[in-house]
Chains A and B, each alone.
Chain A
Amino acid sequence: MRRFALIAVPYAWLLALFLVPFIIVFKISLSDLALAIPPYTPTMRDGIGDMFAAFDFENFVFLTEDDLYWRAYLSSLRIALVSTFVTLLVGYPIAYGMAKAPDEWRATLMMLVILPFWTSFLIRVYAWMGILSNEGLLNQFLLWLGLINEPLVILNTNIAVYIGIVYTYLPFMILPIYAALDRLDESLNEAAEDLGCSRMQAFWLVTIPLSKNGIIAGSFLVFIPALGEFVIPSLLGGSGTLMIGKILWEEFFNNRDWPVASAVAVVLLLILVIPIVLFQRNQQKQAEAEQ
């Protein structure tokens, strides 16, 4: 009886507040926009049979016809891919440096990587607004150096979005790579060098392959949330920045088109299923390898 309650309470909570809401989103994505409250039709009040009869894939067809959505999905994918790659390039040397640091520093370095994660995401994105604006500190600095003659326009462009994603998700990249590098046996590199590898070759042939799992885990941890990102494109991006999280928000709050917003959400979810399944599989493989 007690065991039943232990299982039933969290189970029922997640069913009611996680699974059922998705079914509702899916249902509304099959409905039509209406000038009513709630602003879609049909509803349960029309009777279950009639409701199912009125369902159609019109909204999904609409998404393929209006090229705004296509471009938004593709541009989200591109932004997420590029920024994941840049985060890897920035994060790997940091994780490598941490793994090579003296033991007594490591706890402090680790804390310094985790600290930004506890700090408000919104504030970390906001911090860049003052740096990247036309009269911001970066432009002031570059003008003072004499590298540029007039301020660069960075804020409200895609470049600012890339910087924002790399900055906010960097700890997610560093931590798994550091965990992989930390476990690395140094004698393997020494063996490779003894057998005639150069330092660089040993790094590419031994260190990189052995930290592969960390690289994969870190990349997914950046790519998956970056794809549906809303805060960064809306604060740092401009009107030309197309990201699907922003489109969904605008469709819902500005256009009040719930059926289309729901269809946008369903398609985003379908796109995300692939990287999520791959990520889970990688994690499982890693867990099995450790045993």
Chain B
Amino acid sequence: MKRMSWFNVTSLTLGFAFLYLPMIILVIYSFNASKLVTVWAGFSTRWYGELIQNEAFLDAAWVTIKVAVMSSTLATVLGTMAAYVLVRGGRFLGRTLFSGMIYAPLVMPEVITGLSLLLLFIGIGLDRGVLTIVLAHTTFSMCYVSVVVSSRLVTFDRSLEEAALDLGCSGWDAFRLVTLPIIAPAVISGWLLAFTLSLDDLVIASFTSGPSATTLPIKIFSAVRLGVSPEINALSTIMIAIVAIGVITASLVTKRNAIRAEADTRAAERAQA
């Protein structure tokens, strides 16, 4: 095992303290009994109770989840198609424009994306609501999905697909039975990425939502503009907990699969010997 110098240990400790302390403090203060957010007055779950009874927040959470599920699913389908076209599509008219439109939304300031989509929706007379947010979120998420999926497609051994075609599969069957299972991890992480991007988005949702559809980030933003509130601390804690459980589970599953794959390879090698 390598020994780490005190400098590296210090920079890692300070760095991760900087990354995590603000969130840890937020979580601790969500259990504060006092309404004054910065004065500790004993442990209490009072704000969680008030949060559960706050219907405006619950409605917004429901809208947010609906939008996130719809937009991430649609974005995964479109993004996977786009990745396939970029990596396997060969030459076609307007390919440069196409790849430009895939990469540009990744670096576009959200205010511009939001403004331009809003002006489009108004221009064609589409009422703003859940549908317009879903359309907006799908558009930028599909680009992220396509980047994730195409990085997997590039490293993919094409002869496997060709073998399936030689053995009599139709193009669609070869995709469904060979390509899709292999790129599935990338497609799933693309979906998860699209889902969190949608859950998280404030700016684009603010531009494209109407009075009938308020998402959770819009609700949180208008509440915290007035200052820190204990209810928002409680809500944040719940959201942080969900993400932490999700990411830790995912990394444990990946680790277990890697160990299992290694064990399989070893067993195979032993069987051969």
Q: Do A and B bind each other?
A: yes
User: Which residues in A have some Cβ–Cβ distance to B below 8 Å?
Assistant: 2-3, 6-7, 9-11, 13-15, 17-22, 24-25, 28, 38, 90-91, 93-94, 96-98, 100-102, 107, 109, 111-116, 118-124, 126-131, 133, 135-137, 140, 167, 170-171, 224-225, 227-231, 234-235, 245, 248-249, 252, 258, 261-262, 265, 268-269, 272, 276, 279-280
Residue of B nearest to A22 (CB): B116
Residues of B near A129 (CB, < 8 A) are: 224, 227-228
In the complex, which residues of chain B have a beta carbon less than 8 angstroms from the beta carbon of A6?
A: 81, 84-85, 89
Known: A18-B101, A118-B196, A122-B220. 12 other contacts (CB 8 A): A7-B92, A24-B119, A90-B15, A97-B7, A101-B8, A119-B23, A119-B239, A122-B221, A126-B232, A140-B38, A231-B221, A249-B111
A228:B111 contact, CB within 8 angstroms: yes
Q: Is the CB of B15 within 8 A of A115?
A: no
Q: What chain B residues lie within 8 Å of A94 (beta carbons)?
A: 11-12, 15-16
Rounded to whole Å, the gap between the CB of A241 and the closest CB of chain B is 14
Interchain CB contact under 8 A, A107 and B123: no
A252 to B232, CA, bound (A): 27
Question: Is A90 in contact with B18, judged by CB distance below 8 angstroms?
Answer: yes
Q: Complex: how many Å from CA A93 to CA B7?
A: 9
Q: Cβ of B186 < 8 Å from any Cβ of A?
A: no
Instruction: Across the interface, name the chain B residue whose C-beta is closest to A117.
Output: B196
Interface of A is mostly: helix
- The answer to whether A13 and B78 touch (CB under 8 A), given A93-B15, A97-B9, A228-B111, is yes
Distance (Å) between the CB of B114 and the closest chain A CB? 9
Chain A residue with minimal CB distance to B221?
A: A122
CA distance A261 to B225 in the complex (A): 22
Known A-B contacts A9-B81, A126-B224, A276-B107; A2 and B172 likewise in contact (beta carbons under 8 Å): yes
A272 touching B109, Cβ below 8 Å = yes
Contact of A111 among B85, B196, B251 (CB under 8 A): B251
Question: In the complex, how many angstroms separate the beta carbon of B252 from the nearest chain A beta carbon?
Answer: 10
A7 vs B98: C-alpha distance when bound (angstroms):
9
Residues on B with beta carbons closer than 8 Å to the beta carbon of A97 = 4, 7-9, 11-12, 15
Chain B residues in 8 Å Cβ range of A100: 2, 4-5, 8
For the complex, give the distance between the alpha carbons of A269 and B112 in Å: 8
Which of B46-54, B159-167, B177-185, B199-207 interfaces with chain A? B199-207
Contact of B119 among A28, A112, A131, A245 (CB under 8 A): A28
For B225, the chain A residues whose CB sits under 8 A away are 234-235
Question: Cβ of A116: which chain B residues have Cβ within 8 Å of it?
Answer: 19-20, 23
Query: By the criterion CB–CB under 8 Å, are A127 and B23 in contact?
Result: yes
Does residue B62 face the partner (Cβ distance < 8 Å to A)?
no
User: What's the nearest-Cβ distance from chain B to residue A230, in Å?
Assistant: 5
Determine the distance from Cα of A136 to Cα of B200 in the docked complex, in whole angstroms.
26
Closest to B98 in A: A11
Option from B25, B78, B107 in Cβ contact (under 8 Å) with A137: B25
Determine the residue in chain A with the shortest Cβ distance to B258.
A107
Interface centre among B1, B15, B119 (most CB of A within 10 A): B119
Q: How far is the CB of A213 from chain B (nearest CB, A)?
A: 17
Residues of B within 8 A of A (CB): 1-2, 4-5, 7-9, 11-12, 15-16, 18-20, 22-23, 25-26, 29, 37-38, 78-79, 81-82, 84-85, 89, 92, 94, 98, 101-105, 107, 109-112, 115-117, 119-120, 122-123, 135-136, 138-139, 142, 146, 171-172, 196, 199-200, 202-203, 207, 217, 220-221, 224-225, 227-228, 232-233, 236, 239-240, 243-244, 246-248, 251, 255
In the complex, which residue of chain B has the Cβ closest to the Cβ of A120?
A: B200
Contact A2 B171 (CB under 8 A): yes
Contact B81 A265 (CB under 8 A): no
Looking across the interface, which residue of chain A has its beta carbon closest to that of B227?
A129
Please name all residues of chain B whose beta carbon is closer than 8 Å to the beta carbon of A135 when the two chains form the complex: 38
A228 to B108, CA, bound (A): 8
Query: Given A28, A91, A127, which contacts B22 in the complex, CB threshold below 8 Å?
Result: A127
Q: In the complex the two chains form, what is the Cα distance from A269 to B116 in whole Å?
A: 12
Please name the residue on chain B nearest to A171 by beta carbon.
Answer: B19
Do A262 and B119 have beta carbons less than 8 Å apart? yes
Q: Which of A10, A115, A225, A227 contacts B81 (CB 8 A)?
A: A10
Q: What residues of chain B lie closer than 8 Å to A265, measured between beta carbons?
A: 111-112, 115-116
Whether B109 contacts A225 by the Cβ 8 Å rule is yes
Known: A101-B8, A129-B224, A268-B109. A25 touches B38 (CB 8 A): no
Nearest A residue to B239 via CB reads: A120
5 contacting pairs across A/B (C-beta < 8 A): A6-B85, A13-B138, A97-B7, A97-B12, A167-B22
Contact check, A120 vs B236: say whether CB atoms are below 8 A apart: yes
**In the complex, A6→B1 CA distance in Å?**
51
Asked whether B26 lies within 8 Å of A96 as measured between CB atoms, the reply is no
With A25-B119, A123-B239, A135-B38 already in contact, the answer to whether A118 and B246 are too (CB < 8 A) is yes
Query: In the assembly, what is the distance between CA of A11 and CA of B231, in Å?
Result: 43
Nearest to A25 among chain B residues (CB) is B116
- CA of A221 to CA of B97, assembled, Å: 22
